[in-house]
Structure 1
Amino acid sequence: MISWIHKNTNYLTFISGVLLLLAFTAYLYGAMGVRDAALIGATFTAGVPIAIKAFQALRMKAFSIDLLVTIAVVAALFIGEYVESAVVTFLFLFGAYLEARTLKKTRSSLKDLLDMAPQEARVLRDGGTQMIPVEEVIEGDRLIIRSGEKVPVDGVVASGNGEVNEAPVTGEAVPAAKQVKDKLFSGTMVDNGYMEMTAEKVGDDTTFAKIIELVEEAQEAKSRTQIFLDRFANIYTPAVAGVSVLVYLITRDLHLAIIFLVIACPGALVIGAPVSNVAGIGNGAKKGVLVKGGDVMERFAKVDTLVFDKTGTLTKGKPEVTDIYPTVDLTVEELLRLTAEAETISEHHLGRAVVKKAEASGVSLKKDPQAAEVIKGSGIKAEVDGRTLTAGNRQLMEREGIILSNEAEKYAEAREKEGNTVVFAAVDGKLAGIFSIADQIREEAEAALTELRKSGIRRMVMLTGDNRHTAELVADKLGLDAFHAGLLPEDKVKYVKQMQEDGHKVAMAGDGINDAPAIATADIGVAMGEGGTDISMDTADVVLMADKLKQFSHAYSLSKVTIRNMKQNMVFAVGTVIVLLAGVLMGEVHLASGMLIHEASVLLVILNAMRLIGFRREKEESTAAGRPVPAA
């Protein structure tokens, strides 16, 4: 029976409303007996679901608003105030119905994501094609995607080409051109073209599945303000009941005590914080910004210092080898092959640039080198063709005891001053060559950083493992307040901690494994999602799925607006209760009218929060692309 009542509360609300109309009609015709019967019927019809929820809350040792309303309604029936008992119960249920409908809209971003989830996949199996549920796709499967179809899983293009709308993942509606070896993400749509892809991540491991999971968790996570308000309500609600008893003992006016009991309910106050958080997180999800909870939103809004990694964050993270300089009796092709085979184990942008150069040059590579080791923030070591290959920065060369000649140092420094990152390659403990690698500053970087300063960021710092010359070029171009070069992962952590000790609230943005420790240390960690590693994305509090700094600006502005909206809701909720209580004491507010105003205040709080769904950061001025700069 209780289950049936819960499922059909909306029908009971409707019946209660019909009985109220019947009571009003009977009143017009002077049928007072019919009027009272209809009012009592409306009270019980709407009051039973409220009383059941109040009882269930009591069993959980919670003093809920439903209990206050139930006590007030029983008292109103006791003193013969049938009109007010009927109107209060109807308004309470009808208000709850409107709240649920409105809250559902604030969660629309999650529903939209769920609706976008692919259901089927066209797989090449047993010499033919089969349509199977997406849950049955396994890693390594070959899939076919045609125009107008959704990409079912994460993977890479094996053959064909096309244009893919990646808005569900990145928030960017402009179609992205895809060709062989490019990445494809589950949930995106092929606008035109024909492609065959190889499945790499399936089921809950796909990027799209993780986005849905993160948004679900974030919308359920509570901010500190919300936690405080929940605790406050647990104290405030029984306190209101106690004060209403005190009012009756002093005034001997049961009617006044009942009005006080209902009017002082903290409904709008309790709901104000969570609805703002849900709407703000939903807005971010639609724009390709994943904010992992209300607490993150609250901490992000207090940030005054931004710390950036360089490669893949301030720069595009797509460096290219611009020069190869052998220092021993090795051909350029042989040096490239040995270094690229070692770098196949690396996830770093520089390592991938070397591998990409070898593949583009038609060099045949053997993968999975022996005794391979990644030295975070420095480079790699591996056994290739029975020879020890060491590739990385100066610190790695010093650590391995590899001597750099004056000629090599002069060449490397000259390349760095031209805006290149240099990678030293050594074979069997002797320097064998120098790779020059260049990247470009992101086109939107300058405008995004300007917007962040306008939004309240006071200080911007770059921490990079790259050389000082390259770092200085980027810092000057973007107008950063400071930069520190040649850093290892632990050095980045040290600088972040120092800023925190100086009283700054720090956000750290990065995309690589070497950035993960600093991202975890900062007050807010931000990961560049599309080009970032799983470790940095898992560690971060905020993930920018389109891999663009303009999303950083949107995320920061959104956090500010969300917290401001939350405070507006709290002020409005408290103000409404104060005004209503003053009206009760002056005899101007009665039970039914007070309940109507109370429910209206709850809806207005929700509607105010819903404005966040359509929030858009001020349009940025476009900027020209930056000059070539290095990578690390």
Structure 2
Amino acid sequence: MKFRIKHEIRGRIRIHMEAKRLSYKEADLFQYYLEELPQVTKAVVYERTADAVICYQGERSTLLKKVAAYRCKDVKVPDGILEHSGRELNSQYQEKLVNKVLFHYGRKVFLPAPIAAAYTGFCSIKYIWKGIQTLAKGKIEVPVLDGTAIGVSVLRGDTATAGSIMFLLGIGELLEEWTHKKSVDDLARTMSLNVDKVWIKEASGQEVLVSASRIRENDQIVVHMGNVVPFDGTVSDGEAMLNQASLTGESAPVRKTAGNTVFAGTVVEEGEITVLVRKAGGSSRYEKIAAMIEESEKLKSGLESKAEHLADKLVPYTLAGTALTWLFTRNVTKALSVLMVDFSCALKLAMPVSVLSAIREAGSFKITVKGGKFLEAVAEADTIVFDKTGTLTEAKPIVAKVISFNGYSENELLRIAACLEEHFPHSMAKAVVNAAKERHLDHEEMHTKVEYIVAHGISTTIEGKKAVIGSHHFIFEDEKCTIPEGMEDRFENLPEEYSHLYLAIQNELAAVICIEDPLRKEAAQVVEQLREAGLSKIVMMTGDSDRTAKAIAKRVGVDEYYSEVLPEDKANFVEREKQAGRKVIMIGDGINDSPALSAADVGIAISEGAEIAREVADITVGADDLKEIVKLKRLSDALMQRIRRNYRIIVGFNTGLIVCGVTGVLPPTTSALLHNTSTLVIGLQSMKNLLDESE
């Protein structure tokens, strides 16, 4: 691609492409390409000017070579990225906003007064009629107030005031609609699937792991326990309990058998199914989520709902105040000063905009929030519970060594373990699979049906022999496996600095796989920062041994830790804390964390964890850095502060306007102008990033 450099400083460069402007698709393609480059930290492409601003790290020459090598036809973009990027939506609303402002002030300048007055009268019919319809339903709400204010102004011949009220109401509606649609669009896009690999069932019955892009209509895919259903389809074989909360909002799992329809985004909680793919594209999932968000009350926080209800409740008092002012003063002008000012417009605009903007801002930090009420819950929380593996420790543990107990070679034992573990999305399972891949060990399917026992391990049959892999409790207590004769000393002297994964064949220990699970370097700092942010009780829970858990807990600095816990133990702990009156955040990444994530006031999943954890969770954070959780807490606190501050400003300012109007200090036109302008300013302020103003 040909381009020229318009401006640059160290780490930031602005380039101009050889075009007058770019199409939305061209701009999105180029931005996606830039953002995928490892040295690029941030990129913005402007379609109108064909410019791009690139922030980068590393060598400038390397970046410029990559930019020069860009060819739009060579860029492969996942389904849904281009279709729902939001670029076209933003452009449309920017144009609507500019056109509305230009038309309003152009009409004042160029239209003769009689025609302008007639036009204002015609436009007022919509607001008056909406107020009448609201009254007809037996409700005295905001549309009644707006219709009355506009109608009285028109009847008095004060079309300038009526026009100003309608203009500012229109601007407010446009801004709210824009912010709402953009926020919903961003949220739906981040919640949409991004499945890379799926298990396809070939004609021979063999399961093969392939790229999701290879899947076509009428292919058969196998979805194992704990995994997400990647495509819409029909169950052709198997039986499973599916969690459909992401689409229906209901947490109770639904039984699916042969012939039943399943939808992309639902998660297999128990069992295993083979799905005949009906639709391989990714758009259906997006549309379902967008519709669910639009219809759901999840987007509303408690403070937001209270503010909106208060806005409607205040309308009768405003009308009563108008009537009383007229009765006592017999002054129509003073009475109209009360009517022109109300609390509801600002309350109903600023609160939703604040919440939706906060959700959008969270998305910029790779934090997906499924509703405003969860941000409020994070702000109110006083207890936080961390899972250890993959949360406080690195998301990518590694295999340190394989200790043989049956005479097999390390590579052979690792190959068997990888063959079992590749079916299940957990950080320790991924460590085993990655280790086998690094050693170039081919682990084709050798086993029959794989059964996963949550928080314990995996059981299957290899060449007619039962094979199990999992925790100490599962292997030696549940499965009653034994240590080979003469290997007791080796077993007693297993290295204590590692987590242990046990592999047994025919009820006899075959290998111990030592997993090095390094603590995240930022973990201790994050715990301290969360404590400073107001969380009074910080807990760590893990299925690991007490020895390992105690060492990690001491290094991290948590208040309490619990070891060798089962999924139900985590969920029961969360329930006990809630019954004690505490607000609880649960953070985890595995299948075994999903009951606790569901039980908590706010469930937070690590993005690289199991699909079921991400689906059940209320918030998902990126796996790169736990500091995102601190940002989430600060963002939530800042949102609640903004909502409360907006409430105080709206009530205080508008009360002042009413007093000034009743005392005759301000005429109705000025009161209306100040009221609507303040509403617009507060709405615009509510769209600003929270952390920019609080940090």
TM-score (norm 2): 0.67
Which of residues 145, 148, 154 in structure 2 aligns to 1:71?
148
- Kept in 2, the 8 Å contact 1:289–1:543? The answer is yes
- 1:121: which partner in 2? none
Which of residues 399, 405, 408 in structure 1 aligns to 2:478?
399
- 2:555: which partner in 1? 477
Correspondence 1:272 to 2:336 = no
- Kept in 2, the 8 Å contact 1:109–1:285? The answer is no
Correspondence 1:281 to 2:324 = no
Larger Rg belongs to:
1
Amino acid at match of 1:242: A
Write the mapping of 1:223-242 to structure 2, written as runs, cut at 5 A.
223-242=301-320
Which of residues 162, 165, 174 in structure 2 aligns to 1:92?
165
- Kept in 2, the 8 Å contact 1:16–1:45? The answer is no
User: SS of the residue aligned with 2:527?
Assistant: helix
In 2: Cα distance, 1:617 partner to 1:605 partner: 17
By relative contact order (CA 8 Å, sep 6+), the higher-ranking structure is 1
RMSD of the TM alignment (CA)? Answer: 3.8
Write the mapping of 1:136-215 to structure 2, written as runs, cut at 5 A.
139=215, 203-204=281-282
- 2:677: which partner in 1? 600
Moved more, 253-262 or 456-465: 253-262
Correspondence 1:539 to 2:616 = yes
Deviation for aligned residue 1:227: 1.8
- Kept in 2, the 8 Å contact 1:10–1:97? The answer is no
- 2:390: which partner in 1? 312
- Closer, same or farther in 2 for the Cα pair 1:617/1:226, shift >3 Å? closer
In 1: Cα distance, 2:100 partner to 2:513 partner: 75
- Unpaired segments of 5 or more residues in structure 2? 1-94, 193-211, 218-229, 232-276
- 1:196: which partner in 2? none
In 1: Cα distance, 2:425 partner to 2:313 partner: 53
- Kept in 2, the 8 Å contact 1:42–1:86? The answer is no
In 1: Cα distance, 2:448 partner to 2:407 partner: 24
Amino acid at match of 1:287: F
- 2:566: which partner in 1? 488
Correspondence 1:516 to 2:594 = yes
- 1:569: which partner in 2? 646
User: SS of the residue aligned with 2:517?
Assistant: strand
- Closer, same or farther in 2 for the Cα pair 1:9/1:524, shift >3 Å? closer
Which of residues 326, 349, 367 in structure 1 aligns to 2:445?
367
Write the mapping of 1:24-39 to structure 2, written as runs, cut at 5 A.
37=114
In 2: Cα distance, 1:247 partner to 1:368 partner: 86
- Kept in 1, the 8 Å contact 2:187–2:359? The answer is no
Which of residues 491, 505, 520 in structure 1 aligns to 2:583?
505
- Unpaired segments of 5 or more residues in structure 1? 1-6, 24-33, 119-135, 142-153, 156-198, 619-632
Deviation for aligned residue 1:295: 0.9
- Closer, same or farther in 2 for the Cα pair 1:339/1:266, shift >3 Å? closer
Moved more, 364-373 or 461-470: 364-373
- Closer, same or farther in 2 for the Cα pair 1:616/1:22, shift >3 Å? closer
Deviation for aligned residue 1:548: 2.7
- Closer, same or farther in 2 for the Cα pair 1:329/1:274, shift >3 Å? same
- Closer, same or farther in 2 for the Cα pair 1:75/1:578, shift >3 Å? same
- 1:160: which partner in 2? none
Amino acid at match of 1:224: G
- Kept in 2, the 8 Å contact 1:390–1:425? The answer is yes
For residues 426-470 of structure 1, what are the alpha-carbon distances to aligned partners after superposition, in whole Å with 9 as ceiling and x for unaligned? Answer: 211122222211121223333333332332222221111111222
In 1: Cα distance, 2:297 partner to 2:692 partner: 17
Which of residues 375, 380, 383 in structure 1 aligns to 2:458?
380
- Closer, same or farther in 2 for the Cα pair 1:39/1:220, shift >3 Å? farther
TM-score (norm 1): 0.73
- Kept in 2, the 8 Å contact 1:99–1:603? The answer is yes
User: SS of the residue aligned with 1:496?
Assistant: helix
Moved more, 376-385 or 11-20: 11-20
Write the mapping of 1:335-346 to structure 2, written as runs, cut at 5 A.
335-346=413-424
Which of residues 39, 44, 67 in structure 1 aligns to 2:121?
44
- Kept in 2, the 8 Å contact 1:341–1:384? The answer is no
Which of residues 516, 525, 529 in structure 2 aligns to 1:447?
525
Correspondence 1:579 to 2:652 = no
- Kept in 1, the 8 Å contact 2:586–2:600? The answer is yes
Deviation for aligned residue 1:509: 0.7
Deviation for aligned residue 1:13: 7.9
Which of residues 528, 541, 546 in structure 2 aligns to 1:468?
546
Deviation for aligned residue 1:475: 1.6
Aligned length: 522
- 1:147: which partner in 2? none
User: SS of the residue aligned with 1:323?
Assistant: strand
User: SS of the residue aligned with 1:358?
Assistant: helix
- 1:422: which partner in 2? 500
- Closer, same or farther in 2 for the Cα pair 1:408/1:551, shift >3 Å? farther
Write the mapping of 1:2-21 to structure 2, written as runs, cut at 5 A.
17=105, 20=108
Which of residues 299, 305, 323 in structure 2 aligns to 1:221?
299
In 1: Cα distance, 2:640 partner to 2:148 partner: 35
Correspondence 1:552 to 2:629 = yes
In 1: Cα distance, 2:449 partner to 2:110 partner: 85
For residues 164-186 of structure 1, what are the alpha-carbon distances to aligned partners after superposition, in whole Å with 9 as ceiling and x for unaligned? Answer: xxxxxxxxxxxxxxxxxxxxxxx
For residues 10-60 of structure 1, what are the alpha-carbon distances to aligned partners after superposition, in whole Å with 9 as ceiling and x for unaligned? Answer: 98986665665589xxxxxxxxxx96x467436414423422443454466
